[in-house]
Amino acid sequence: MYPEETGPLSQRLLRDSHVEQVNDWTKTASVRRARMIAYLVTFIMALLLYLVFSAGSGTLWLWSPSELLAGFLLSLLTAAVAGKVLCRGKDYRMANPVRLLILPVYIIGPFFIEVTRANLDVAYRVITGKIRPGIIRVPSGMKTDFGAFLLANSITLTPGTITVDISEETNDLFVHNINVPAGWETRDTVEARELFGLANIPAWIRRIAE
């Protein structure tokens, strides 16, 4: 019923909004069920976020009864207003609790180690002034947009590398390196694995997002 998840993002969004219009005219049971799931997922996420924000406000475990009631009502309101917008993808892979739990483990573990190592490297370059900048092409190897987004952000947050641009057709990243290792300037592409020294970051991201 839905078009395949391929092609550049801009075209895909256009197609999705078109599908949305068609659905408004012919409301079937499956569409109503999809809407219900979207509302439910948004409600749970909003409630969890509210609970984190208001933890420590009272004696009922960590929350006060009035905060719990306010959170419940506000989450219902949020789901009613924003459910359709926030869950547009019709793909609830990321609502899986296991994936959501691996994400903080990834951030605290391998990602933090990698960022620390790279920060010390850039600190050394700030002090000595030894730089060899350049923009290289990195095939991300990610099939989904969220995976490519996570990899691009991980590369950007690791000092010494910034994602400058992304090719929407192939999900290739263009990465500015502050210190291009010798030999890389003649290669057409560099694997994402080689940008990180210690931890296998692309494998972790694939575990989370794909």
Partner 1 sequence: MIAEVLAVACLVIGTAFNCLGIIGLLRFPDVYTRMHATTKMTTFGSVFTALSVIIYGAGQFLGTGDGQYITLSLHTVLAALALAVTNAIGSHAIARGAHRSGIRPAQAVVDRLGEVPP
Quote the least distance from Cβ 17 to partner 1, whole Å.
Answer: 23
Q: Nearest distance from residue 60's CB to partner 1, in Å?
A: 11
The interface with partner 1 within residues 58-117 (CB under 8 A) comprises 58-59, 62, 115-116
CB of 99 vs partner 1, minimal distance in Å? 17
- In whole angstroms, the minimum distance from the beta carbon of 135 to partner 1 comes to 5
**Residue selected from 156, 206, 207, 210 as contacting partner 1 according to rule CB under 8 A:** 156
How far is 51 from 96, CA to CA, in rounded Å?
Answer: 19
The single residue among 36, 73, 105, 126 that binds partner 1, judged by CB under 8 A, is 126
Interface with partner 1 (CB under 8 A), residue from 11, 96, 119, 200: 119
Q: How far apart are CA 56 and CA 206, in angstroms?
A: 35
Among 69, 77, 105, 135, binds partner 1 (CB under 8 A): 135
List residues near partner 1 by CB under 8 A. Answer: 52-59, 62, 115-116, 119, 122-123, 125-127, 129, 131-137, 152-153, 156-160, 162-165, 167, 174, 176, 178, 180, 184-186, 188
